[in-house]
Structure 1
């Protein structure tokens, strides 16, 4: 299993993969810097959609030749998103990437019933892959950006998406911790009840290729010492590979806190689509956006 983003980058570089990105709202220095870096590494080519004059100016400021890119003028956020998704359907790009535009406009194009990128019956979900340097390993947090208050059936699909991605990362049987505030079932705390249902679904063979545990507090989901101290013997306790959040707010706050307070390297990835879709946060650093590109390239292998 990969332990760092550097290991993932080495693997992708060794594979010889090269894909074409359609960067929406490319008049964004952070997103454009990430794409330029990926291009210089020989991993991508790119079409840059948005305000052409601003994009050209940014390329000049990065000492990057403009003739290495296709610049496409798009005025509105909706036009940016629709055009990028259309380019994937037309075979003119392999994956869209979100630049400087609202998530809602981007998601509207990705989820369009006729021209979107979600298979029938599928569920789009988001996962944040975190590099935990202290422990020398990586783990996922899901869902931090898409599903606001998923029910049990939706959480099953969120787990399925995250497990498939964990397999891509080389984790053959990931430990899935359904996180809550407590380790015992409390009918007043829905996430504890959902944890039991998800564990049972795993036992019934509905969630293959993983071990599901919970409810688990965050501490005993990631710390063996904390789990032992509390007497928690859940099979997913102490070293979870996937943390399933109670709802979006918890996931969003948690993933941003480990970035801004702890400074851990991370990358957001969208899961469940028919082709890789890059959708990093507007406040992500160029490095984290580059990691997002790497995650989508890994999914494309």
Structure 2
């Protein structure tokens, strides 16, 4: 996340020094998981390298660093980081780092993947490799923000604000299912899911209202499972009981939403950044839909937000492992 021009001194979520009770609980929960290995692709700056080392120090997971060893040692030396006891895999450049990191996961030597200082697209391209070596599943990839909003009583998921630009209906179904699965994986129970649009009435003049209605019917038919969906809902009546009452909306979701599904990437990204930069929220987040959770962090994230992203990924990796084990017992 970048500051708007001329607002470099504006307060951001990174300026919040008080602890988040939501994130603290997630971090403590992750520490109780048995140790897993996170492979970090190209952590060649102080933020990404520092985040990986901090997650290791806090007991969230062990790490394998993939990148040019000379650069990794130089960054560590410059910022006073110790690489003692950390496994390093030497690669010539960021593209090779992304590919090798994916190979480590495919070989079973890592259970989580973390983005370093390379571009997100470069890492995702390696994840989605179509030559049989990627981490692709039958589900579309999507990003979920797990937000701590000071004025909201529980963690608020916002999706998708980072991966799918203009998702079609089938992609949106995967986006919704990914977020629902994460909610369950974090032990937060069956979520209330608001499919957002500009209005709460279904109208052909606004195509996203039609898609919202279709997604709700897909949930009724069992094509989306594990959550309670309603939509279209405007943002106000999705998160405010009073707004929903004024509009006369009777719904188990309206005013109580735990997952906000944006109509497209621009809306989701703006919503998350609006909450972050204007409401003092913090925005942890991971990418869902691959064989393992993928951790994406930003230079604008606070240290606790980066650790919360790592914690969320670790908890969900454990959930996936237990789910696979249960399915294997019943097969």
The residue number in structure 2 matching 1:45 is 62
Shift of 1:61: 4.6
Pair 1:102–1:283, CA change in 2 (3 A)? farther
Contact 1:219 1:227 in 2 (8 A): yes
Q: Does 1:96 align with 2:113?
A: yes
SS in structure 1 of the partner of residue 202 of structure 2: coil
Shift of 1:155: 1.1
Contact 1:126 1:143 in 2 (8 A): yes
Select the residue among 201, 206, 210 that pairs with 2:218: 201
More deviation in 206-215 or 240-249? 206-215
Q: Does 1:116 align with 2:115?
A: no
The residue number in structure 1 matching 2:142 is 125
What is the distance in 2 between the residues matched to 1:252 and 1:135?
Answer: 19
What is the distance in 1 between the residues matched to 2:91 and 2:305?
Answer: 25
Specify every segment of 5 or more residues in structure 1 that has no aligned partner in the other structure, as ranges: none
The residue number in structure 1 matching 2:14 is none
Select the residue among 248, 267, 270 that pairs with 1:231: 248
What is the distance in 1 between the residues matched to 2:66 and 2:72?
Answer: 9
What is the distance in 2 between the residues matched to 1:252 and 1:226?
Answer: 23
Contact 2:114 2:296 in 1 (8 A): yes
What is the distance in 1 between the residues matched to 2:310 and 2:99?
Answer: 20
SS in structure 2 of the partner of residue 167 of structure 1: helix
Contact 1:123 1:272 in 2 (8 A): yes
More deviation in 276-285 or 182-191? 276-285
The residue number in structure 2 matching 1:31 is 48
Select the residue among 91, 103, 106 that pairs with 1:74: 91
- Name the TM-score, length of structure 2 as normaliser: 0.85
Contact 1:181 1:218 in 2 (8 A): yes
Shift of 1:282: 5.1
SS in structure 2 of the partner of residue 177 of structure 1: strand
The residue number in structure 2 matching 1:242 is 259
Pair 1:51–1:282, CA change in 2 (3 A)? farther
What is the distance in 2 between the residues matched to 1:92 and 1:220?
Answer: 46
Q: Trace 1:198-277 onto structure 2 (pairs within 5 A).
A: 198-277=215-294
The residue number in structure 1 matching 2:15 is none
Aligned pairs, how many? 298
The residue number in structure 2 matching 1:85 is 102
Alpha-carbon RMSD = 1.9
Select the residue among 28, 34, 37 that pairs with 1:20: 37
Shift of 1:279: 2.4
Shift of 1:215: 0.7
Specify every segment of 5 or more residues in structure 2 that has no aligned partner in the other structure, as ranges: 1-19, 319-331
